[in-house]
A and B are shown apart, each in its own frame.
Chain A
C-alpha cells in the first residue's frame, strides 16, 4: 500500500518539474484529544521546572534525498491556563527522527516566556522559522517532535496550571529530489 501510495504521490510531485513540494502539516490535529496537546506544570517557589510532550509526525515517504528549503510554524497558538501563582512560561520545540533523539537535538524554535499570574488564561502565539540545523529531519517520513514548557517561579507560592496547544501547522518546503 505504501508503495502504491508513494508511487502515486511521486508521480504527482515529479510532474511539477522544477517546482517545489510544499506540505502543510496540521500537527495539532494529530495531538488533539490525545492528551499530548496539554503540558501540566507545577513550579515550586523560587525555582524553575520543565515538562514536555512528544508527538510523532508522519510525512509522505520518498523524499529522503530532497533538499529541505524551509520549515516554518505558520499557524500556532496555545493557552496558558494558570491555576495559581505568578511566574513565566515559555516553549521550545525539538525535532528528531526518533523520540530519543529529541532529547539531545538542538532547539528548533523557542517561544519567549510569557507571564502568568493567578487563576487566568493567557493566549500565546507560536510561529517562526525552525532552525536550519534540523531541516534534514523533515526529508524523512517520520519526524518526532518534543515540546518543552519551561517555567520559572520567583514568588512564594507554587505556580500550577497547564499549557494547552490550540493550533500547530508546520509548513515544509522541499525541492523534490525524490529518492
Chain B
C-alpha cells in the first residue's frame, strides 16, 4: 500500500513542473547559451515551416554539427553513488526504506542525471506538523511548502507523429498523426493558503482542486510549401548580380501548410475535486466534493482545418524567422456524449448522469509559435534569441557566443515557462571536425521552485 501511495504521489506530483522537458537538451553549446540555438536546427525547423527550405549551416562558426554526443558525466557520478547491482536495496528506489524520499526520486525523473549536478535540486526532508483539535486543523509543511504550486500545474503537449509523404520541388504532400493532451490542476486559493501559508482550516468550508483535462488524437492530411521567394542580387566586381558579396543562403523564405484534421477520439473532463469540512471540523464527517463534466466522442467524428505559416529572412550575418503552427485549428466533433459525474453523499457512491448525447462539441489545438533571430557580427561574435510557445507558456532565450580561434566562450539567459529567470555560460574547443563543449546552466525542472545548476559536456562532429 505504501508503494501504491508513493506511485500515486509521484503520478500526481510529476504533473507539477510545467517546464519539465523544456530545457532538456544534450547539446552543451546550447545549454551554455541559456537554451538558445544559434543554428537552424531544433525548434526553428520544427515550428517554422519556412526553415524547411533553408539549408542548415555547416562548417565553422555557429554551424550546426552533424552529430552531438553528450558526455554523461552525471551518469558516471550517479552510478557510483547508486551501483546497479544494489538498486533493489537502494533507498532512492525502495519505498520501504526509511531513507526513501519521493521528492528526490521525482527530481531524478524530471531532471535526469545525464549531466553533472553542480547544485542538486531541492528535495526537502523536513518534518511536517499537524495541529488537530475539535475545531482546528493546521498544517505546517515547513520547507516542503515549496512543493505547493502557486499557479495551475500539469502537463501537456501537442505533437506530430508519423509525418509520411513526398514532395515535388517546394511542395510536399503528407499525412501525419497528431496528438494533443493537456492536464491542468489548480488549487483553489483556500486550499493553497492552508498548505502553503499554514492558514488554519475553517469549518463549513470547501477545499478543492479544479481539474481541466483534455486529450485528442487523429490524423491530418497536409499540403505544404516551403521555398525561397526572394534572393538578393549582390553585385560582384563586374557589376553582375550574384557576385562574391552574395551569401548563398540570403533571401526571404516562406513556408505554409494546410491541414485537414480527422479527429479519431477525444475526451475532456472539467470539475472540482475536494472536500467540505463540517462544523466543528473534527466533530462532523467531511463530505466529498466531486463534480465533473466529461465530454467524450462517440467515435472518430472530428473534423477541422488549420494552417502553419512561417517566414525567414537571411541577409548576410543577420537571420530572422517567425513561424506558427496549428493556426485556427478547431475540431468539430459531430457526435459526442456529455456526462456529469459526481459524488453522491447519500449513497456514498459516484453517480453518472448523461446530460446530452449525440451532440456537437468543439476543441482546439493550441497554437505553437516561435520567433528567432541571430546575428553574426564578423568578429567571431554571434548573438541570438528566440521566443517560443508550444501551448503551455512562453519561453524566452537570449544567448551569445564569442569565438577566439578554436576556442569559444558562451553565455545566455532564459525565462522559462514558470516565468523564472535562468542563466547559462560555457565554452568550447574545436579541433578540426571535432568539438568539445561545456555548458553550465540553471534550471527549475524539478518540483521545487528553486534553481538547480547542472554542467553539461558534449562532443560535436562537424
Q: Is the CB of B282 within 8 A of A17?
A: no
Shortest distance between the CB of A168 and any CB in chain B (Å): 11
> Which residues in window 91-134 of B have CB below 8 A to A?
96, 98-104, 123-134
B5 contact set on A, CB distance < 8 A: 7, 10-11, 14, 62, 178-179
Name which of B17-25, B135-143, B234-242, B247-255 contacts chain A. B135-143
Considering the chains assembled together, what is the distance between the CA atoms of A14 and B99 in angstroms? 12
Query: For the complex, is A13 an interface residue (Cβ under 8 Å from B)?
Result: yes
Query: For the complex, is A133 an interface residue (Cβ under 8 Å from B)?
Result: no
Q: Is the interface of B mostly helix, strand, loop or mixed?
A: mixed
Q: Which 3 A-B pairs have the closest CB atoms?
A: A17-B101, A26-B133, A17-B125
Q: Is the CB of A26 within 8 A of B131?
A: yes
A179 contact set on B, CB distance < 8 A: 1-2, 5
Considering the chains assembled together, what is the distance between the CA atoms of A62 and B129 in angstroms? 16
Known pairs A10-B9, A16-B128, A19-B128; A65 contacts B2 (CB<8 A): yes
Q: Is the CB of B141 within 8 A of A16?
A: yes
Contact with A along B292-336 (1 / 0, CB 8 A): 000000000000000000000000000000000000000000000
Query: For the complex, is A30 an interface residue (Cβ under 8 Å from B)?
Result: yes
A134 contact set on B, CB distance < 8 A: none
Residue from B128, B273, B275, B285 having most chain A Cβ neighbours under 10 A? B128
Chain A interface (Cβ < 8 Å from any Cβ of B): 1, 4-5, 7, 10-26, 29-30, 32, 58-60, 62, 65, 175, 177-179
Considering the chains assembled together, what is the distance between the CA atoms of A18 and B141 in angstroms? 13
Shortest distance between the CB of B140 and any CB in chain A (Å): 9
Task: Give me 11 other A-B pairs in contact (C-beta within 8 A), A5-B275, A22-B130, A175-B98 excluded.
Answer: A4-B288, A11-B5, A12-B195, A14-B5, A14-B6, A15-B141, A17-B100, A17-B102, A17-B125, A22-B128, A25-B133
Chain A residue with the shortest CB-CB distance to B104: A17
B282 contact set on A, CB distance < 8 A: 30, 58
Query: For the complex, is B232 an interface residue (Cβ under 8 Å from A)?
Result: no
Shortest distance between the CB of B400 and any CB in chain A (Å): 40
Shortest distance between the CB of A5 and any CB in chain B (Å): 6
20 sample A-B contacts, Cβ–Cβ < 8 Å, listed by A number? A4-B275, A11-B13, A13-B128, A15-B13, A15-B102, A15-B128, A15-B141, A16-B128, A17-B100, A17-B103, A17-B104, A19-B144, A21-B129, A22-B127, A24-B130, A26-B136, A29-B133, A59-B132, A65-B2, A178-B2
- The contact of B286 among A1, A11, A177, by CB within 8 Å, is A1
Residue from B2, B126, B274, B286 having most chain A Cβ neighbours under 10 A? B2
Considering the chains assembled together, what is the distance between the CA atoms of A23 and B131 in angstroms? 6
Q: Is the CB of A12 within 8 A of B287?
A: no
Query: For the complex, is B147 an interface residue (Cβ under 8 Å from A)?
Result: yes
- The contact of A7 among B8, B100, B195, by CB within 8 Å, is B8
Query: For the complex, is B69 an interface residue (Cβ under 8 Å from A)?
Result: no
Q: Is the CB of A19 within 8 A of B136?
A: no
B135 contact set on A, CB distance < 8 A: 29
Q: Is the CB of A15 within 8 A of B2?
A: no
Q: Is the CB of A23 within 8 A of B132?
A: yes
Per the CB 8 Å criterion, the residue count for chain B at the interface is 44
Query: For the complex, is B355 an interface residue (Cβ under 8 Å from A)?
Result: no
A7 contact set on B, CB distance < 8 A: 5, 8
Contact with A along B11-41 (1 / 0, CB 8 A): 0110000000000000000000000000000
Considering the chains assembled together, what is the distance between the CA atoms of A24 and B128 in angstroms? 11
A29 contact set on B, CB distance < 8 A: 133-136
Known pairs A1-B286, A26-B132, A175-B98; A17 contacts B123 (CB<8 A): yes
Q: Is the CB of A12 within 8 A of B128?
A: yes
> Which residues in window 212-255 of B have CB below 8 A to A?
none
B1 contact set on A, CB distance < 8 A: 178-179
Q: Is the CB of B144 within 8 A of A16?
A: yes
Residue from B6, B9, B136, B273 having most chain A Cβ neighbours under 10 A? B9
Q: Is the CB of B124 within 8 A of A15?
A: yes
Chain B residue with the shortest CB-CB distance to A3: B288
Shortest distance between the CB of A92 and any CB in chain B (Å): 24
Q: Is the CB of B288 within 8 A of A1?
A: yes
Considering the chains assembled together, what is the distance between the CA atoms of A44 and B275 in angstroms? 53
Considering the chains assembled together, what is the distance between the CA atoms of A18 and B124 in angstroms? 9
Shortest distance between the CB of A53 and any CB in chain B (Å): 16
Considering the chains assembled together, what is the distance between the CA atoms of A60 and B5 in angstroms? 15
Chain A residue with the shortest CB-CB distance to B276: A1
Chain B residue with the shortest CB-CB distance to A175: B98
Considering the chains assembled together, what is the distance between the CA atoms of A167 and B447 in angstroms? 40
Q: Is the CB of A1 within 8 A of B98?
A: no
Contact with A along B404-417 (1 / 0, CB 8 A): 00000000000000
Shortest distance between the CB of B462 and any CB in chain A (Å): 45
Q: Is the CB of B142 within 8 A of A19?
A: yes
Considering the chains assembled together, what is the distance between the CA atoms of A26 and B127 in angstroms? 19
> Which residues in window 381-421 of B have CB below 8 A to A?
none
Shortest distance between the CB of A73 and any CB in chain B (Å): 15
